[in-house]
Amino acid sequence: MKLAFIIDPINKLDPCHDTSVAIMEAACVLGHEVWITQASQLSVVNSQAWAFLQRVELTPIELVSDRWVAANPWYQLGESINCCLETMDAVFMRTDPPVDTAYLYATYILDYIDQNKTLVVNNPSGIRSANEKMYALQFAQAIPETIVTAEKSVIRQFVDAKGAAILKPLGNKAGEGILFLQAGDRNFNSIVELSTQQGKIPVMVQVYLPEAKAGDKRIILLNSEPIGALNRLSTAGEFRNNMAAGGTVAKTEITPRELDICQQLAPTLQKDGLIFVGIDVIGGYLTEVNVTSPTGIREIDRFEGTRLGEQVIKWVEGKKD
């Protein structure tokens, strides 16, 4: 197959951590052509999506003393060519958030790929409909008590009633801008004013789950089926469990409650064309549905001895047979 990946600049990716690299590496190992581009290099010409693409060859990382080690250099790039994306068997949209204007325009361009010819992972309209915070709200039986608002008084009433809550910007990633709110905090007004840009931008506020101290579980779904999970743990002096915020990771298992959550999500994910998804679960509650560039498979592979990237590519092979 010929596979195109829309990613952030490859020289800024960590091959020992990045899930996009893991999937591209798996495609190379399985004998497929891998091409890369960036969202800014997409175009629409004659009502078709085009991109400046470069062929990339990757040297697989190796597990040495329980840690991944990459070659130096770990990738080689070919010449850039301008190519219609419908000549690819699949296109992976793997640009990191925030889902800003440039990101949204990239998804509009990807709408001009005929998905009867070329699979797009994830579906661009699905990405647009699935704000990674808001999307979870439709699964009312799975989420903790949550509000979304820009109104300071509404946030204060919620926090006073619950005692403690977590405030999340709707468009950030990797724990950026997440704040802990507590009833009676003298900084409350300033925190909310900064986060909502003086009441102009809504934020999500969720009841604080004490179980977060035991970790924040990331579960990877492929075509709505869970294929692996890891537990993320905060470091001393930090309440966020995100890896990008310095959190550590640990081996874990998927519980019956978490399997039930996956089953609750499955019909909606399939309807929206959201094939490769990472959900976050704390204490048996769904907190986020990550659809843009969910990560974690390098860590899961290290703990479980799996090759989840190859599992993803083999699933795509099956769709193209």
> CA 46 to CA 86: how far, in whole Å?
13
Catalytic residue among 122, 131, 241, 290: 290
288 is a catalytic site residue: yes
> Looking at 94, 168, 217, 298, which residue is catalytic?
168
Q: Which of 89, 258, 280, 301 is catalytic?
A: 280
* Per annotation, catalytic residue among 94, 173, 217, 232: 232
- Active-site residue flag, 298: no
Active site (annotated) includes residue 218: yes
Catalytic residue among 288, 298, 299, 301: 288
* Catalytic residue status for 185: no
Q: Helix, strand or coil for residue 7?
A: coil
Identity of residue 117: K
For 61-100, letters b (16+ CB in 10 Å) and e give: beeeeeebebeeebbeeeeeeebbbbebbbbbbbbbbebe
240 in active site: yes
Instruction: Dig out the tokens for 154 from the structure.
Output: 């509404």
Coil vs helix vs strand at 109: helix
Q: Which of 94, 173, 217, 240 is catalytic?
A: 240
∠ CA 289-246-255, rounded to 5°:
45
Rg, the chain, Cα only: 20
Determine whether 33 is an active site residue: no
Q: How far apart are CA 20 and CA 7, in angstroms?
A: 8
CA 111 to chain centre: 20
**Catalytic pick among 94, 133, 217, 298:** 133
Q: Which residues are catalytic?
A: 133, 168, 218, 232, 240, 280, 288, 290
